[in-house]
Amino acid sequence: MSYSIAEAARRSGLSIDTLRYYERIKLLDPPARDTAGRRAYSDDDLNWLGFLTKLRTTGMPIKSMREYASLRRHGVASAARRKALLVEQRRSVAERIAELQGCLDILDYKIENYERVEQKVLGIEPGMEEISA
């Protein structure tokens, strides 16, 4: 199957402009063109875009995604390096999750404080001062 840029945008969740942008910066190999010169994205293109958006979601900078994309073009010889990039990204995602979990705990604590205050609107109890911190 092949897809117009509008359809590719819809399926990938990226904007049309972003698709052209990704192509310009070589994140995406130039897709095929139809007889009128319009882009015709393949299923492979869409799969790659899907993976790219996952990498983006993990916070991988475009620079690194470009490196990965460029390695991919150099075939099997680059597999070790590509794997290393993914392993490093996995590490950073796990770290980020832990960090966010810590923030979640702090948010819960703060929210509980607000709830304590709601229950004792009269009189200042220990914990009240937290509300202003």
Partner DNA sequence: ATTTGACCTGGAGTGCACTCCAGGTCGTAG
Partner DNA sequence: CTACGACCTGGAGTGCACTCCAGGTCAAAT
Binding site for DNA (CB under 7 A): 4-7, 15-18, 20-21, 33, 35-39, 56, 61-63
Query: Which of DNA, a copy of itself, none lies near 79, with the C-beta cut-off 5 to 8 A by kind?
Result: a copy of itself
3-class DSSP state of 30: coil
Q: Is 7 exposed, middle or buried (0-12, 13-18, 19+ CB in 10 A)?
A: middle
Contact flag: residue 117 with a copy of itself (CB under 8 A) = yes
Contact flag: residue 34 with a copy of itself (CB under 8 A) = no
Query: Which of a copy of itself, DNA, none lies near 54, with the C-beta cut-off 5 to 8 A by kind?
Result: a copy of itself
Q: Which tokens sit at 119?
A: 């229950």
| Pairing, β 32-33 against β 2-3 | unpaired
Contact flag: residue 48 with a copy of itself (CB under 8 A) = yes
How far apart (Å, rounded) are the C-alpha atoms in residues 72 and 118? 57
Query: Which of DNA, a copy of itself, none lies near 129, with the C-beta cut-off 5 to 8 A by kind?
Result: none
For residues 6 and 102, which CB has a smaller minimum distance to a copy of itself in the complex? 102
**Cα angle vertex 10, ends 53, 38, to 5°?**
100
Q: Are 62 and 25 in contact (CB under 8 A)?
A: yes
**Cα angle vertex 69, ends 64, 75, to 5°?**
130
Binding site for a copy of itself (CB under 8 A): 44, 47-48, 51, 54-55, 57-58, 72, 75-76, 79, 82-83, 86-87, 89-90, 93-94, 96-97, 99-101, 103-104, 106-108, 110-111, 114-115, 117-118, 131-133
